[in-house]
């Protein structure tokens, strides 16, 4: 089945209930927010070719505190839009005057997106099991569009990575991955993630990475290399237009939001 490529502002549906990630609603209709591939399964969504992370409700993300206000921590979440964590969304009661003592500027935190408004106000929460400020481990940044490959079908890839390296792993949809374990194990896991990024277009990748982690790395076949080179060439062509396309996206969305006001 041929993929349908859509551009920012393109009409996707007449029903606002169809709106999903990578879309926005205006006058009850659903439009594309991004330059990417249309996905019509369940909700209407758009998968971006590359570029910045666009937040969506229920996403797991890793953020870094960039400011502390009287009632909110403000986070860089690797997106054009900052994330806001209200003091009430912290796991326990915190006096407002002591917020910076709990999480100061520069603190990395495991978070979940609670809600994203039509004006792209991103509300975050820590009131779920496992979400917390990070004091150990490393945060690795990858291209957000590669995150599904790192997770794998049904979580197969990330489960294997955890098992073979004895590391804790938290994969954020915003392209940030937290790993925690012995230094040698984190070094190995970092190499494995780099390999996944490099060979993300090849088949049998989970088995290949498993062999690598066991010290039995399987070489990439000539056929796989040819497919990879072809895909990378196409990605490069897309990337050459990415900056211009993204700027056009945000100009269009800003203009639409101004019209709504």
The tens digit of pLDDT for each residue in 144-180 reads 888 989 999 889 999 999 999 999 999 999 999 999 9
- What CATH number should be reported for the domain whose range is 60-125? 2.40.50.140
User: Which ranges constitute the DSSP H helices of the chain?
Assistant: 99-102, 147-151, 156-165, 183-198, 205-213, 222-240, 242-260
User: pTM of the predicted model, to two decimals?
Assistant: 0.69
For the segment 108-118, the average pLDDT, to the nearest whole number, is 94
For residue 221, give the nearest of 235, 234, 203 by alpha carbon.
203
* Strand, helix or coil for residue 48: strand
Ranges 34-38, 40-44, 206-210, most confident:
206-210
Judged against a pLDDT cut of 60, whether residue 240 lies above it is answered with no
Q: How many CA atoms lie within 13 A of 201 on its CB side?
A: 15
On whether the CB atoms of residues 187 and 137 are closer than 8 A, the answer is no
Under CATH, what is the fold of the domain 138-230? Ribosomal Protein S8; Chain: A, domain 1 (3.30.1370)
What does the alpha-carbon distance between residue 245 and residue 238 come to, in Å, rounded to a whole number? Answer: 10
On whether the CB atoms of residues 49 and 235 are closer than 8 A, the answer is yes
Under CATH, what is the fold of the domain 5-48? OB fold (Dihydrolipoamide Acetyltransferase, E2P) (2.40.50)
- Around Cβ 83, how many Cβ atoms within 10 Å? 28
∠ CA(132), CA(137), CA(143), 5° rounding? 85
pLDDT category of residue 97 using cuts at 50, 70 and 90: very high
What does the alpha-carbon distance between residue 57 and residue 21 come to, in Å, rounded to a whole number? Answer: 8
Q: What does the DSSP 8-state code read for residue 87?
A: G
* Strand, helix or coil for residue 120: coil
Q: How many residues does the chain have?
A: 261
Spatial neighbors of 72 by CB under 8 A, at least 6 apart, are 84, 85, 86, 87
Extract the tokens encoding 23.
């879309």
What does the alpha-carbon distance between residue 169 and residue 252 come to, in Å, rounded to a whole number? Answer: 37
Decide the pairing of beta strands 11-13 and 29-32: antiparallel
* Strand, helix or coil for residue 178: strand
What does the alpha-carbon distance between residue 100 and residue 123 come to, in Å, rounded to a whole number? Answer: 19
User: Looking at per-residue confidence, does 255 or 30 come out higher?
Assistant: 30
Q: Would you state the pLDDT for residue 234?
A: 47
Q: Would you state the pLDDT for residue 184?
A: 95
Q: What ranges do the domains of the chain cover? A: 5-48, 60-125, 138-230
Q: Partners of 64 in the beta sheet? A: 76, 108
Q: Would you state the pLDDT for residue 217?
A: 63
What does the alpha-carbon distance between residue 259 and residue 36 come to, in Å, rounded to a whole number? Answer: 25
On the question of a common fold for 5-48 and 138-230, the answer reads no
Phi, psi at residue 60, to the nearest 5°?
A: -90, 135
What does the alpha-carbon distance between residue 52 and residue 44 come to, in Å, rounded to a whole number? Answer: 20
Judged against a pLDDT cut of 90, whether residue 246 lies above it is answered with no
């Amino acid at each position: 089945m041929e993929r349908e490529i859509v551009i920012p502002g393109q009409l996707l549906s007449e029903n606002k209930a169809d709106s999903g990630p990578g879309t926005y609603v205006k006058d009850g209709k659903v439009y594309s927010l991004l330059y990417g591939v249309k996905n019509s399964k369940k909700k209407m969504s758009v998968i971006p070719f590359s570029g910045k992370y666009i937040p969506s409700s229920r996403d797991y993300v890793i953020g870094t505190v960039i400011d502390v206000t009287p009632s909110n921590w403000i986070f860089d979440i690797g997106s054009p839009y900052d994330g806001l964590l209200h003091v009430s969304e912290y796991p326990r009661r915190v006096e407002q005057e002591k917020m910076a003592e709990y999480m100061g500027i520069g603190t990395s935190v495991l978070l979940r997106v609670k809600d994203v408004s039509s004006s792209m106000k991103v509300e975050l929460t820590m009131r779920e099991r496992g979400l917390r400020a990070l004091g150990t481990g490393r945060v690795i940044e990858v291209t957000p569009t590669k995150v599904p490959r790192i997770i794998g079908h049904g979580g197969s890839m990330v489960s294997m990575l955890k098992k073979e390296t004895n590391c804790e792993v938290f994969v954020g949809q915003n392209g940030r991955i937290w790993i925690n374990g012995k230094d040698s194990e984190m070094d190995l896991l970092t190499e494995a993630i780099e390999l996944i990024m490099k060979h993300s277009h090849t088949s049998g990748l989970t088995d290949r990475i498993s062999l690598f982690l066991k010290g039995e790395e399987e070489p990439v076949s000539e056929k796989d290399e040819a497919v990879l080179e072809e895909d990378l060439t196409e990605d490069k062509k897309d990337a050459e237009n990415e900056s211009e396309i993204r700027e056009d996206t945000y100009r269009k969305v800003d203009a639409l939001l101004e019209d709504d006001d």
